[in-house]
A and B are shown apart, each in its own frame.
Chain A
Amino acid sequence: DTGVSQNPRHKITKRGQNVTFRCDPISEHNRLYWYRQTLGQGPEFLTYFQNEAQLEKSRLLSDRFSAERPKGSFSTLEIQRTEQGDSAMYLCASNQRLGQQETQYFGPGTRLLVL
């Protein structure tokens, strides 16, 4: 399978705990994006990487959130001191620009529930 994979698929945690999610993009894709999606909304951009460089961060990404892509391959998203409002689906996507064409391919997401 050469699609985007995310682990874990589901995570239940208690408020105040730290959680870390992993995303493995499609191998030849140099761009990797993190999104958050809540019920009834579309995916909201959090941050993106081009190779290992984090190029843009949304104001949604508070200081409790940090993302890394150390070797330009997989990426991790960590949430520290989780709050109930962090409960959402966290989506990862990867893409590669070919000329003017750029298509994002999404992983299945990690559903986080903070109790």
Chain B
Amino acid sequence: DQQVKQNSPSLSVQEGRISILNCDYTNSMFDYFLWYKKYPAEGPTFLISISSIKDKNEDGRFTVFLNKSAKHLSLHIVPSQPGDSAVYFCAASAQGNQFYFGTGTSLTVIP
């Protein structure tokens, strides 16, 4: 049972434009959400997180939005840069006991 879903396996965006990566979840008990970036042959690197008491968290070019009623979160990258090209995973947890990951979205930023 996939509790965290990333329905877009890939996304291509022009450099300088906005990248929007989406994630849906099914478990209403999830209270903490994270985004990770992964390059080939490396472990995931933490990008940004949000707790369920917020609906937005911003860190530089990265903003995460959480819509609890829709059980949906998104990651916005503005402006997108070629170095952002990687696979992005969203993850969720309930009380931090176990983290559930989506299947990832491969982002390509075209120069």
Residue of B at shortest CB range from A47? Answer: B98
Interface centre among A6, A31, A43, A91 (most CB of B within 10 A): A43
Q: Chain A interface mostly helix, strand, loop or mixed?
A: strand
CB distance from A49 to the nearest CB of B (A): 12
Known: A33-B99, A91-B44, A108-B42. A43 touches B53 (CB 8 A): no
Q: Determine if B34 and A106 form an interchain contact, defined as CB atoms under 8 angstroms apart.
A: no
Query: Is B30 interfacial (CB 8 A cutoff)?
Result: no
Q: Determine if B89 and A42 form an interchain contact, defined as CB atoms under 8 angstroms apart.
A: yes
A-chain residues with CB within 8 Å of residue B34 when the two chains form the complex: 103-104
A-chain residues with CB within 8 Å of residue B42 when the two chains form the complex: 108-109
Count chain B residues whose beta carbon lies closer than 8 angstroms to a beta carbon of A.
Answer: 27
Known: A103-B49, A105-B46, A106-B43. A42 touches B104 (CB 8 A): yes
CB distance from A26 to the nearest CB of B (A): 12
Q: Determine if A106 and B44 form an interchain contact, defined as CB atoms under 8 angstroms apart.
A: yes
For the side of the interface on A, what is the size category?
Answer: 20 to 34
Q: Which of B46, B97, B100 contacts A55 (CB 8 A)?
A: B97
Q: Which of B82-111 contact A (CB under 8 A)?
A: 89, 91, 93, 96-104
Query: Is A102 interfacial (CB 8 A cutoff)?
Result: yes
Per-residue interface assignment for chain A, residues 27 to 50, with 1 indicating a CB less than 8 Å from any chain B CB and 0 otherwise: 000010101000011111100100
CB distance from A91 to the nearest CB of B (A): 5
A-chain residues with CB within 8 Å of residue B102 when the two chains form the complex: 42
Residue of B at shortest CB range from A42? Answer: B101
Query: Is A62 interfacial (CB 8 A cutoff)?
Result: no
- The 15 sampled A-B contact pairs (Cβ below 8 Å) are A4-B43, A33-B99, A40-B104, A42-B101, A42-B103, A43-B91, A48-B98, A91-B44, A101-B32, A103-B49, A104-B34, A104-B46, A106-B45, A107-B43, A108-B41
Chain A interface residues toward B at CB < 8 A: 4, 6, 31, 33, 35, 40-45, 48, 55-56, 58, 91, 93, 95, 97, 100-109, 111
